[in-house]
Amino acid sequence: MRRSLMLSLASLLLVPAFISCGGDEIPTTAPEAAKEPADILYHLQYVAVRKDYKHVALIAPITPDVVFPSARQLHVDAKALGLTLTPEELKGLGIEHLAAKLDALPGSQVDDYAVKDARLAFNAGIYRLTKGLTAKSWGKMRHMGITDNTAARQFGSQTVVKDMALGFDGKKILTVSCLKKPDGTFGVTLMRYEVNPKGLKQD
């Protein structure tokens, strides 16, 4: 009996910190660096619900060949979906100075838009797209398959990008392209909504 009690206590200690949100589990502590593409889901949930702006950097690429075009595409897509950032979010993301140009970012470096700003814009683009779903919807999101993104080989023969499908209630909602970074962990290069979030049933 003592052994079973100790095992029960040990299992409790191994449970990650979560909070219930309408019956759904949302991480309350920042996940560690993503070792697999599937881990990215927990980072997106955490960023979206906890609004930990700085955490986005952990799942963001850093090389200019990725951040410039990806930052532009993320914000183009967010604008098309009607997703905006509040003044508080702009400040928290460190992009107040880029606010006026977010919806029309260049796809490469120009005189007043260097790689440092592109990285900040990229981080903001990830966060901005997560706003398409409510906290409860993020809590319901599940993996729906991972496939190879062969088009990513344009960035080099050794480039590894996996496309991860996410959704809930049997419906595919998002495709997240996950890039293997030089340190072996995974980050996000693009997020694409497969359906307009405004048409989803979200509580």
Query: pLDDT tens-digit profile of 1-56?
Result: 444 433 333 333 333 333 333 334 666 789 999 999 999 999 999 999 999 999 99
pLDDT for residue 201: 84
What's the token pair of residue 179?
Answer: 């890039």
Residues of the chain with pLDDT under 70: 1-27, 152-158
User: What is the spatial distance between Cα 194 and Cα 31, in angstroms, rounded to a whole number?
Assistant: 26
> pTM of the entire structure?
0.84
Tell me whether residue 134 is exposed, middle or buried, using C-beta atoms within 10 angstroms of its C-beta: 0 to 12, 13 to 18, 19 or more. Answer: middle
Can you name the residues that pair with 190 across neighbouring β-strands? 177
Helix, strand or coil, per DSSP, at residue 16: coil
pLDDT value at position 26? 66
- pLDDT at site 61: 86
Please state, in angstroms and rounded to a whole number, the distance separating the CA atoms of residues 118 and 187.
Answer: 16
Contacts of 98 (CB under 8 A, 6+ apart): 105, 117, 120, 121, 124
